């Protein structure tokens, strides 16, 4: 749990923030980090079968009210996760997200309508503002989902999704990789 929280906080120093102290303070003040820290604590309790009800229910509702972010304790979220901006983030209880993912406000990751499971999302995935990932889909590693995009089908690795319904295109090759070995 503490390693995951440390990696979550380290994501703040990737930006223009120069000092570790300012990155730490920015992380603590971020609504996304606050919701994620509460999730990480209750997820630890969930995995070790430590009873936390009704305390967990009250705290999760308080976090939802103050941050606008709902992350059930039984979700599986990898280290280095970052939620940018305030509010409107809703996760289904069966969501699985890999390491170093980034999401923006207004993102919903849910089931396809009352039954079933939600998405399994790979490592290093960026989900833009207002995007929806609906149903039991698999999102590959190093993918980007554009703002207001609605994803209902699997996405292969290194793909960008855009539009509603989502259309996919491969990510452009890295400039350094193009000239290698030539």
Task: Give the Cα separation of 177 and 94 in Å (integer).
Answer: 36
User: What is the pTM for the complete model shown?
Assistant: 0.83
Q: How many domains does the chain have?
A: 1
Q: Has residue 27 been placed in a domain?
A: yes
The answer to whether 34 touches 12, Cβ cutoff 8 Å, is no
Provide the residue range defining the domain that includes 79.
2-171
Mean pLDDT of 139-143: 96
- The enclosing domain of 14 has a CATH number of 2.160.10.10
141: Cα within 13 Å, side-chain hemisphere: 5
The answer to whether 148 touches 128, Cβ cutoff 8 Å, is yes
Q: Has residue 149 been placed in a domain?
A: yes
How many residues are there in the chain?
Answer: 182
Q: Give, as one character, the DSSP assignment of residue 173.
A: P
Q: Has residue 141 been placed in a domain?
A: yes
Residue 146, pLDDT above cutoff 80: yes
pLDDT tens for 20-70 read 555 566 666 788 888 998 999 999 999 999 999 999 999 999 999 999 999
């Amino acid at each position: 749990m503490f390693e995951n929280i440390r990696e979550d906080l380290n994501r703040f120093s990737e930006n223009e923030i120069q000092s570790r102290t300012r990155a730490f303070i920015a992380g603590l003040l971020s609504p996304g980090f606050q919701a994620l820290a509460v999730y990480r604590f209750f997820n630890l309790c969930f995995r070790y079968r430590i009873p936390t009800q009704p305390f967990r229910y009250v705290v999760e509702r308080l976090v939802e009210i103050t941050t606008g972010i709902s992350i059930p304790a039984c979700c599986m979220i990898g280290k280095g996760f970052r939620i940018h901006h305030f509010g409107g983030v809703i996760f289904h209880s069966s969501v699985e997200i890999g390491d170093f993912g980034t999401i923006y406000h207004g993102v919903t990751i849910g089931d396809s309508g009352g039954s079933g499971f939600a998405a399994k999302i790979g490592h290093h995935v960026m989900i833009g503002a207002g995007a929806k990932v609906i149903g039991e889909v698999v999102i590959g590693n190093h993918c980007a989902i554009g703002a207001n995009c609605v994803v209902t089908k699997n996405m292969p690795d290194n793909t960008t999704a855009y539009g509603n319904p989502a259309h996919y295109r491969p990510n452009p090759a890295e400039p350094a990789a193009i000239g290698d070995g030539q």
